[in-house]
Amino acid sequence: MSIANLLKVALKAILNNKARSFLSMLGIIIGVAAVIVMMAIGQGSKESIHKELSTMGTNLLTIRPGADMRGGVRLDPSAMQTLKQADYEAILSEAKFVKKASPEVTTSGQAIIGSNNTTSTCYGESPDYISIKLWTVESGQCFTEEDVKKSAKVCLIGKTVVNELFPNGQDPIGKTIRFKTIPFRVIGVLKGKGYNNWGMDQDNVIIAPYTTVMKRLSAQTHFNSIVCSALTEELTDAAIEDLKQILRRSHKLKESDEDNFTIRSQQEFMDTMSSTMDTITIILVVAAAFSLLVAGIGIMNIMLVSVTERTKEIGLRMSVGARGLDISNQFLIESVTISVTGGVLGVLLGGLLTWACNTWVGYPAVIPMWSVIVSFAVCVLIGIGFGYIPAQKAARMDPIEAIRYE
How far apart CA 175 and CA 51 sit, in angstroms, is 34
Least gap, CB of 276 to another protein (angstroms)? 55
Task: Note whether 325 binds another protein by CB under 8 A.
Answer: yes
Task: Note whether 12 binds another protein by CB under 8 A.
Answer: yes
What separation in angstroms does the CA of 270 have from each of 49, 55, 353? 8, 12, 28
Task: Note whether 399 binds another protein by CB under 8 A.
Answer: yes
Query: Which residue from 271, 275, 323, 377 is in contact with another protein, where contact means CB under 8 A?
Result: 323
How far apart CA 97 and CA 263 sit, in angstroms, is 14
Task: Note whether 326 binds another protein by CB under 8 A.
Answer: yes
200 by Cβ neighbours in 10 Å (0-12 / 13-18 / 19+) ranks as exposed
Task: Note whether 19 binds another protein by CB under 8 A.
Answer: no
Query: Which residue from 319, 352, 355, 377 is in contact with another protein, where contact means CB under 8 A?
Result: 319
How far apart CA 246 and CA 311 sit, in angstroms, is 83
Least gap, CB of 356 to another protein (angstroms)? 39
Query: Which residue from 18, 320, 359, 360 is in contact with another protein, where contact means CB under 8 A?
Result: 320
Task: Note whether 149 binds another protein by CB under 8 A.
Answer: no
Task: Note whether 313 binds another protein by CB under 8 A.
Answer: yes
> Three-state DSSP class for 265?
strand
Least gap, CB of 47 to another protein (angstroms)? 50
Length of the chain, please?
406
CB distance 199 to 49 below 8 Å: no
- Of all helices (H) and strands (E), which one includes residue 75? none
Which one of 165-173, 188-196, 244-252, 323-331 is the stretch in contact with another protein (CB under 8 A)? 323-331
Least gap, CB of 391 to another protein (angstroms)? 16
Which one of 37-45, 80-88, 176-184, 324-332 is the stretch in contact with another protein (CB under 8 A)? 324-332
With CA atoms as reference, report the closest residue to 404 among 314, 306, 328, 325: 314
How far apart CA 405 and CA 171 sit, in angstroms, is 91
Least gap, CB of 283 to another protein (angstroms)? 46
Give contact residues for another protein (rule: CB under 8 A): 1-2, 5, 12, 16, 312-313, 315-326, 399-400, 403
